[in-house]
């Protein structure tokens, strides 16, 4: 796992310390998995929300019950990893290029043709 300077700056500027720590931990475990609603690709780049499938199921269930309310604070699932695969010659794995908020990602993707 490699972090671009921009991604590290994003963590410091956009996320609380607790959320930044959770995002770093999540990057170690979820970037290999792509789920249509929480990740995708725009070759050669990939994007993935900071949420596990288990947490997604919990949030969806809470929404269905009407138990979910916004706290006003951002959570890891409010952020998106923008990354690419590292070449095998460089050890494989991934390089996280940026961390976007959900709104920033939507705006960025809408400008790509």
CATH number of the domain residue 59 falls in: 3.30.2310
Reference 82, options 31, 36, 33, 22; nearest CA is 31
The pLDDT, as a whole number, for residue 18 is: 96
Q: How many domains does the chain have?
A: 1
Q: Using the Cα atoms of residue 19, residue 13, residue 108 and residue 89 in order, give the sign of their dihedral.
A: negative
CA distances from 19 to 66, 85, 91 (A): 25, 24, 28
The pLDDT, as a whole number, for residue 82 is: 93
| CA–CA distance, 95 with 29 (Å, rounded to integer) | 14
| 10-residue stretch averages of pLDDT, the chain, 113 residues long | 96 96 94 83 90 89 81 87 91 93 80 62
Q: Which residue(s) pair with 80 in the sheet?
A: 49, 100
Q: Say what the pTM is.
A: 0.86
Task: Say which residue the tokens 């959320």 belong to.
Answer: 19
The pLDDT, as a whole number, for residue 2 is: 94
The pLDDT, as a whole number, for residue 32 is: 86
Helix, strand, coil percentages, rounded to 5, for the chain: 45, 25, 30
Q: Which domain holds residue 94?
A: 2-110
């Amino acid at each position: 796992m490699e972090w671009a300077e921009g991604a590290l700056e994003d963590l410091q500027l956009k996320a609380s310390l607790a959320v930044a720590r959770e995002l770093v931990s999540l990057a170690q475990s979820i970037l290999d998995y792509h789920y249509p609603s929480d990740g995708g690709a725009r070759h050669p780049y990939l994007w993935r929300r900071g949420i596990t499938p288990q947490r997604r199921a919990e949030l969806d269930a809470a929404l269905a019950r009407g138990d979910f309310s916004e706290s006003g604070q951002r959570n890891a699932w409010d952020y998106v990893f923008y990354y690419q695969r590292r070449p095998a010659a460089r050890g494989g794995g991934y390089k996280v290029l940026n961390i976007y908020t959900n709104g920033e990602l939507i705006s960025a993707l809408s400008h790509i043709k």
